[in-house]
Amino acid sequence: MRPNFFHHLHPPTIPAAQARWRYTLGAGGLAIFLMLVLGVTGILEMFYYIPTPDQAGLSIQTITYQVPFGALVRNLHFWAAQLLLIVIAVHLVRVVFTGAYAPPRRFNYLLGLALFVIAILLDFTGYVLRWDIGVQWALVVGTNLIKTIPWIGSELYIILTGSTQPGIATLIRFYAWHIFGLMLGAAILLVWHIFRVRRDGGIAIPPPALRTDNKRITRYELVRREVLAMLFSGAALILLAIFLPAPLDEPITQTAEVLGEARAPWFFLWIQQMLKWGDPFFWGVVVPVLLLVLLALIPYIFPKPADRELGRWFPKSNRLAQVTLAVIVLVVIILSIVARLSMPGGPSAS
Amino acid sequence: MNRSLLLGSGALLLVLVLAWWLTSRQPKPVLLIPTLTGKPEYCLTCHSDLAQISPSHPVKTFGCVICHGGDALALNADQAHSSMRGGANPSDLSVVQQSCGGGNCHSGTAADNSDHIQRVMGSVQSTYAGAISTMLYTFGAEPDLTARFGIHAVSDDVITTKTGVPALKVFDPATETNPFIKEFATNCLDCHINAKPLTGQPFDRLTGCAACHTPKIDSFSKGQIHKLTTAIPYTQCNTCHNQGNYDLRTMTFVQRTDQPTDRLHNYYQPIAQFTKCEYTLDCVDCHTRTEAMGDGDIHSNETQIQYIQCQTCHGTPSQLPQTKTLTDPNDIAFRLALLNPIVDPKVGDTILVTDKGEPLWNTRVLPDGTYQLVGKATGQVFTFRPVMGSGCTQIGTDQSSAYCHTCHSVQR
């Protein structure tokens, strides 16, 4: 068979161990697929979405209720965005729990982490674009957190929101960040990340001398597996989109007000819970940033995973890194659950 | 090549067909762009079977959202209804200004006869000022019967009558110390038009404008009633009136226990005196819009606003009732008749009017000098004579209804 364009994006052959589901969980590939889905559905939404405070909520209602298959497209965009964060988190956990960040992949680990941060910001800006009362708490409280940063807080707030309070300038800025600024960053970093995977010798496995399994698969087999994964995850995504519609409340009318109960999007629930503990700058800005720094330092401060242990789960040589990440993940999950349980009436998650 | 790829493609195709099938089963959106707002709304997708609320609020002109609020584009019931004003009743006084107000609607000027909301907000039916001031005076909390408190705060810049007061403050039971007044506040604040009605079928009504203008059919719980009318039957008035008495010793409302089967027995409390017309006509056949909805001033009690007497229609032994010949095609009488077309008055017709000049637009003077009244809620035609020229010997200055009841009351 003559390799087509998509085959050529892959190396002619790769070690079979690099492409095992039980090793990679397919999380990186799935994240790329979800980003493609998000790109396509996002472009479709742009034909109808109007980024002004009085039209934003209404235009989403138009997409949801009047545009043929608009609800399907919007729900796909929503679910792909939620799943993307989970899939990236799983990808990160896989990389740390298998010690795959070891040199020469330290830099690509940082690229991946940056992509994670961008994906979270994309999710948050997309969430705010709904401009309905469901996002109001997070919009007001989230942007107010910026103000608490010493020295530059007020300036940063104005740069971010375009005014002294959330309003028309905020919406257009969030929109521009969502569809252009962050998307551009994500696209560049994604291509770079994928390039670095190849440059660094593919997915982490022991060097040839230490390998026990020398089987290789062709690019045809690799593409076949990727297509298979896309078909099934695409079908699952459509099922989710059909049966679990994305949330939508009535449009915001009073932007300056914080309405009702605290309700951050689900991926920020852990921060919402910490905000109850006191100083918003410390708990809402310093602690999350420190956690991010700690994650970024994992390849640099913890013992290097042994070459021969690469390509398998839970190598003994990097236990400390595994435990550190496990603790962070557990704390985030527990805080999120506590925050969710303390919400009366169970408002929409995102 | 590959069974798994085929399987995957099949799965994707299957869910795509499922998505298409589910989408095709959605109801086709029904678009309405009312001429007053020019904004699209899709309420009729589900509510196409709802009757038009009144001929003067045609749905093509008003649409739904201008009165009800709600998310006009949503086709999901929960979301579409989430921002509705006043739930199912946009005329609740808490939202009536947004729903029914506006210079061209029901909060216009007195000169234009479109100041309904201002009048209702200050009327004793909504302030409950009469009962509150009576209680405060009775238990020594106020020096006289002048109203100072109401269910809601209201003020009036232009006082046109002798009994008008400039403003009422909110009656706040929490600040009262007298146990009787506290008890009154707990048990007795159910009889104003914005109060949630007492439990039970006889009390079943909505609040705000709809308390009167949306007459119940069987029970509100049985289904939607989408109707506004000025043809208000006595049964609607009876959802507040004639349902029992207050016991001042216990400060409780005692519901009537009789179960009337005909209108004669339904109309009044057992010991009341009344004449035939008082139980054959509907309340609105005699009592005017000013009496029911207020005259624009804030009054201290019902007696300051209610002024229709037997003589309004019947005159006295020495005087015929007041009449007016309709000469102006813009006379309010024509507008009122248009809203409830039980009569078709023409320029040149002579009708009865009240002391204050309000037209009794459902009456007319017949050529033989007698009068005709058409029931506003029933369309029934009644003819009646003036007192003058009859055998009545009542002296002209004693004309309150109690004097008429002396001879003309009906026995039960």
Which two tokens mark A71? Answer: 């609800």
Nearest to B43 by CA among B27, B22, B21, B65: B65
Q: Which long-range contacts (CB under 8 A, 24 or more apart) does A138-142 make?
A: A138/A263, A138/A264, A138/A265, A138/A268, A139/A166, A139/A170, A139/A255, A140/A166, A140/A255, A140/A256, A140/A257, A140/A258, A141/A258, A141/A262, A141/A264, A141/A272, A141/A275, A142/A264, A142/A268
Q: Do A234 and B12 touch (CB under 8 A)?
A: yes
Residues of B in contact with A55 (CB under 8 A): none
- Of all residues in chain A, the one with the smallest CA distance to B79 is A249
- Nearest CB to A224; choose among B2, B12, B76: B2
C-alpha span between A128 and A141 (Å, rounded): 12
Which of the pair, A165 or B35, is modelled with greater confidence? B35
pLDDT of residue A141: 87
pLDDT of residue B282: 93
- Nearest CB to A242; choose among B4, B5, B18: B18
Confidence of residue A249 (pLDDT cuts 50, 70, 90): confident
Residue type, B80: A
Which of the pair, A118 or B243, is modelled with greater confidence? A118
* Helix pair A27-46, A70-97: axis angle to 10 deg: 150
The predicted model gives A110-123 an average pLDDT of: 98
Q: Which residues pair with B253 in a beta bridge?
A: B246
pLDDT of residue B218: 56
- Of all residues in chain A, the one with the smallest CA distance to B23 is A69
Q: Each residue of A36-81: pLDDT tens digit?
A: 999 999 999 999 999 999 999 999 999 999 999 999 999 999 999 9
Q: Do B5 and A248 touch (CB under 8 A)?
A: no
Q: Which residues pair with B244 in a beta bridge?
A: B255
pLDDT of residue A347: 43
Q: Which stretches of chain B drop beneath a pLDDT of 70?
A: 1, 217-224, 267-270
SS (H, E, C) B175-199: HCCCHHHHHHHHHCCCCCCCCCCCC
pLDDT of residue A255: 59
pLDDT at A258 exceeding the cut of 80: no
Indicate the domain borders of chain A: 5-341
The pTM for the full model equals: 0.79
Which of the pair, B405 or A230, is modelled with greater confidence? A230
Q: Each residue of B23-74: pLDDT tens digit?
A: 888 888 899 999 999 999 999 999 988 889 999 999 999 999 999 999 999 9
Residues of A in contact with B23 (CB under 8 A): 68-69, 71-72
C-alpha span between A310 and A313 (Å, rounded): 8
Phi and psi for A188 in degrees, rounded to 5? Answer: -65, -50
Q: In the 8-state DSSP scheme, what is residue A258?
A: P
- Is the four-CA dihedral A340, A343, A344, A350 of positive or negative sign? negative
Chain B contact for A345 (CB, 8 A cutoff)? no
Contact predicate B131/B188, CB 8 Å: yes
Chain A contact for B42 (CB, 8 A cutoff)? yes
CATH architecture, domain defined by A5-341: Up-down Bundle (1.20)
Q: How far is C-alpha A249 from the chain's CA centre?
A: 24
pLDDT of residue A260: 64
Chain A contact for B75 (CB, 8 A cutoff)? yes
pLDDT of residue B48: 87
Nearest to A238 by CA among A34, A56, A102: A34
C-alpha span between A74 and A89 (Å, rounded): 23
Chain B contact for A76 (CB, 8 A cutoff)? no
